[in-house]
Amino acid sequence: MVTGRSGIPCMIMRGGTSKGLYFLADDLPGDREERDELLLRIMGSPDRRQIDGLGGAHPLTSKVAVVSPRGDGSVDYLFLQVFVDQALVSDQQNCGNILAGVGPFAIERGLVAAGQDTTSVRIAMANAGGAVAATVRTPGGEVTYDGDVEIAGVPGTAAPVVLDFQGTAGSTCGSLLPTGQVSEVIDGVTVTCVDNGMPVVVMPAGQLGVTGAESPEELESDASLRRRLEALRLEAGRRMGLGDVSATTVPKLTMVSPPRAGGACGSRTFIPHRCHTSIGVLGAASVAAALRLPGSAVDGIAALSDGPRVRVEHPTGYLDVEVELDGHDVTRTGVVRTARKLIDGIAYPR
């Protein structure tokens, strides 16, 4: 058992619009139960403030990346969601935001040799399959976090991390449309259940009695809405082949509305019980796929351009994602994110 005296090497990074702890797999216990118990202690869970740990008292800041070499120059990335106020650690989803920090972390830890200008890091996503090539800036053979790329939801600018995904469609559920339907009705709401890297239930905001412009706080305070969304999510999870999802973090729920700031659409996402202050990378990829599917629940709501780029507006700005489809097959998913190392040291669990 790792104690507060021994500690464990840990890097804290901002990845996209999330923040998490990054570990080498060899620095964590090999036994899953022991590993999860350790991570709960390091984060300070269960406690809504996570006051005695490194967690930030929100699902977006209570995340973990576990990285290991594969032996062929690529790395494995396991994402773990550490619950804030419950003694739970989930591996039932990927996280595209924390993924943005995996390439820089792998280079910093010596798992991948740095190039003289940029470095491509091949990453296998262990949670549900799929792979991504992350291009990281490494001038002079060292990772740089300084740059001029701005992403909504993060103050300032940073160096870009370009993510090109492969095999995202059906990565968790087995197919892009896991229920076999482009659209269907659950509890009186027309939905599209889609998995382009993240299982998401996409629906028009108007059918839930909201505009889609409400703040996350407003939506979270609507107890009736949250009960209805959770009932819908439980049924959607069953239909998507995920079984009883009452104790899991997928599927997510995204309510789509017409754009208000020049993007393709507005969005409000429940992850699943808190309303996201932005939107996850892979969640946005799934929403973008649904927007491009003729006959989907949100067909006709978005202002789509002719090119592959879809700008999904969210509570703190927007996220640009590129999705190309051939019928119901996704041929490409790409996105530009940023990451920044915040601290590198030793974590001391309680």
Number of Cβ within 10 Å of residue 82's Cβ equals 28
pLDDT digits (tens, 9 = 90+) for 86-143: 999 999 888 999 999 999 999 999 999 999 999 999 999 999 788 999 999 999 999 9
pLDDT for residue 22: 98
How far is residue 323's CA from residue 332's CA, in Å, rounded to a whole number? Answer: 6
Instruction: Give me 221's structure tokens.
Output: 């305070």
Angle at 330 between CA 324 and CA 332, to 5 degrees: 55
pLDDT for residue 3: 65
Number of Cβ within 10 Å of residue 230's Cβ equals 16
Q: List CB contacts of 133: < 8 A, sequence separation 6 or more.
A: 120, 121, 122, 123, 163, 164, 166
Q: What is the pTM of this model?
A: 0.79
pLDDT for residue 153: 87
Low-confidence spans in the chain with pLDDT less than 70: 3-4
pLDDT digits (tens, 9 = 90+) for 203-229: 999 999 999 999 999 999 999 999 999
Tokens 């990829």 label which residue? 285
Closest CA to 178 of 205, 159, 153, 197: 197
Give the domains, in start order, of the chain with CATH numbers.
8-166+338-347 (3.10.310.10), 184-327 (3.10.310.10)
8-state DSSP, 264: S
Closest CA to 22 of 64, 55, 73: 64
List strand residue ranges (DSSP E) for the chain, in order: 8-15, 18-24, 63-69, 75-82, 89-90, 118-125, 131-137, 160-166, 184-186, 189-195, 199-204, 252-257, 265-270, 309-314, 317-326, 329-347
